[in-house]
Structure 1
């Protein structure tokens, strides 16, 4: 069965969506663009709209605390010779957006609610060596930045006025750090077969932070905060099953176990800002079908284990199940437009602060939307 044209038409149809994944994981850190044949470029935009509600430790309802967030991705791959290729991939792999309402729950102080924004930027530069037409070995450096703005409000963070963490704020300046990625891939274009294994190293960040707290005496200081974004392994598989259909799977492991961020002031109070207890395991499987030379579609289901339960109040969900649909329109053979939508059933979770239960969050969900443009040159 000759599937060369199928391979070109369908290997790109992955749902271009952000994920509501374990810990701070967001993009999934795919390198699929680098594994495309010839010269190739793409750009994408994703939006996630979560709804996360629950009950606090006193039984009061907690209104939706999950903020929408948008993130971009882009990539370019150059096939310099038959055996050497180069790639640059940009994504925003880790992040968080949450805003508790002033709703009478213990996550607000009557004026403001607890809030969190975490942003990362990531550029991966890969060099690939193809000793034969079937094998590709690749590696390269990774540049990454992290910044954050977090505020804690309400009795969830202590009811004693002399010890409460309510009123605590931290801003972490954007700081760059470096890691690396490496992997290998095997392909057989005749049957649209492709398999790849990619490892990403952990990246150690030490950034300048500003902490302040309206306690007595007033705490107001610059310090440094350390964080290690986790190592991970991605396994990508696909194969043609008929002239116009292929199936695919993505498996991912992220080392969140023992992940802790403990700034100076919180550390002095015996508290962590963020901590996770378990590794993340996730899987997505699906199928793509080509209807004609211009139109194709994808359906996929996904699972994410979460990173342990109880969880931090800054992201009170544990993993998910998901289902997604996507489509691709190709006005010409060398470029395409993709769009997709994904629905997430978010896992129930217990939120804790200082080892004490602060709330229960259940029956939550999220909607994801994405669009991507790809071009061969």
Structure 2
């Protein structure tokens, strides 16, 4: 069977702002290392999130709607792969693996209105792959990532905070981690199974904390925060002529990600570990066109009590992709619909706002070129 790799159009693996899978947005893919010859790609994805809830507490017996708290976000990615010799190859990957964009509109939720969280991450991964033979290979390398962000706590749910409003700006910090994995292939039937471990990365952030109405508490502090270690198992295999079955399992230890500002003294991130499962089928229609369909399910540990800065708990998604190939150029596009899991925003463990029946839509494009 001619090797055929179904793609889903560079869509982000996460489809919502701080969804069930913690802050996870890309799933930290390394598939480019398996491309043939010299190859480069550029991708773009955008996600529109519909994320709203209603207050539920004796502090506000009449209740109030939160309004849409999930901001649209965009992501960019790029990669380059080249063979050094018949056994050794390398790749450089740029992605934006972590992020959050949540804003509770002022005048919406009486309990959380004005609360917001924004965080961005950029990462560069340098990989080497060594082929022991046509079946077995190993890959590994280093990952450098930078993260910054800002969190604002506001509303009656945070009335115990001096001044009633708290803001912390997280200055950008860069840190290193590592990646290691193995793969088994049978090229004749397009079979490949790849297991990849990504280490946790520890950041030492400088913080600027401020309390509205209590300027005497404003200060500059620092704290250490980790992004999760993770394990990805990706597989594909031909099941008929020009037809491919593919999927994957991703585990991420989001529970290690804490942010405890020194003056505030409480954790602003409360996330649970997660498993994300993907299963799909790809079909080559002719020499130019192919398509894929995948189902995705994220299972998250713990109950549905979540941080207001990450007000979802698990998700289900369907992803449809098409690909056009002409000579050395490949253009992919796709769309993904995600049903976000219901949750209860619970600052300090106190349930205050229900989030139900929310969803997100993502669209992505990727351009690849074989030299």
**Normalised by the size of structure 2, how large is the TM-score?**
0.93
Partner of 1:135: 136
**Aligned partner of 1:223 among 192, 201, 221:** 221
Partner of 1:122: 123
Partner of 2:313: 318
Aligned length: 360
1:219 to partner: Cα distance:
2.3
**Aligned partner of 2:211 among 207, 210, 213:** 213
CA contact (8 A) 1:83 1:129 kept: yes
1:70 to partner: Cα distance:
0.3
SS class of match (1:357): coil
CA contact (8 A) 2:6 2:282 kept: no
CA contact (8 A) 1:266 1:273 kept: no
Question: Cα distance 1:28–1:241, how it changes in 2: closer, same or farther (>3 A)?
Answer: same
Partner of 1:79: 83
RMSD: 1.5
Partner of 1:233: 231
Partner of 1:29: 28
1:353 to partner: Cα distance:
0.8
Partner of 2:104: 100
Spell out, residue by residue over 1:205-235, the C-alpha distance to the aligned partner (whole angstroms, 9 max, x if none). 0011111111335322111121100100000
SS class of match (1:266): coil
SS class of match (2:300): coil
Question: Cα distance 1:93–1:282, how it changes in 2: closer, same or farther (>3 A)?
Answer: same
CA contact (8 A) 1:116 1:149 kept: yes
Using the TM superposition, name which of 320-329 and 303-312 deviates more: 303-312
C-alpha separation between the residues in 1 aligned to 2:73 and 2:36? Answer: 32
C-alpha separation between the residues in 1 aligned to 2:286 and 2:42? Answer: 24
CA contact (8 A) 1:118 1:148 kept: yes
Structure 1 residues 288-303: aligned runs within 5 Å: 288-303=282-297
Spell out, residue by residue over 1:166-193, the C-alpha distance to the aligned partner (whole angstroms, 9 max, x if none). 3211111111101100001111111011
Partner of 1:199: 197
Partner of 2:72: 68
C-alpha separation between the residues in 1 aligned to 2:23 and 2:362? Answer: 16
1:44 to partner: Cα distance:
0.5
C-alpha separation between the residues in 2 aligned to 1:279 and 1:217? Answer: 37
SS class of match (1:264): coil
Partner of 1:335: 329
C-alpha separation between the residues in 2 aligned to 1:165 and 1:194? Answer: 57
SS class of match (2:33): helix
Kindly indicate whether structure 1 or structure 2 has the higher relative contact order, using CA contacts under 8 Å at least 6 residues apart. Answer: 2
Question: Cα distance 1:203–1:61, how it changes in 2: closer, same or farther (>3 A)?
Answer: same
The answer on 1:287 being equivalent to 2:285 is no
1:307 to partner: Cα distance:
5.1
1:165 to partner: Cα distance:
6.7
1:259 to partner: Cα distance:
3.2
1:330 to partner: Cα distance:
1.1
Spell out, residue by residue over 1:11-44, the C-alpha distance to the aligned partner (whole angstroms, 9 max, x if none). 1513421213411111011111111122211110
Partner of 2:153: 152
Question: Cα distance 1:286–1:370, how it changes in 2: closer, same or farther (>3 A)?
Answer: same
C-alpha separation between the residues in 1 aligned to 2:340 and 2:150? Answer: 25
SS class of match (2:287): coil
**Normalised by the size of structure 1, how large is the TM-score?**
0.92
C-alpha separation between the residues in 2 aligned to 1:272 and 1:164? Answer: 17
CA contact (8 A) 2:237 2:246 kept: yes
Partner of 1:251: 249
Partner of 1:185: 183
CA contact (8 A) 1:312 1:353 kept: yes
Query: Which stretches in structure 1 are left out of the alignment for 5+ residues?
Result: none
1:265 to partner: Cα distance:
1.9
CA contact (8 A) 1:40 1:77 kept: yes
Using the TM superposition, name which of 254-263 and 311-320 deviates more: 254-263
SS class of match (2:188): helix
CA contact (8 A) 1:92 1:122 kept: yes
SS class of match (1:133): coil
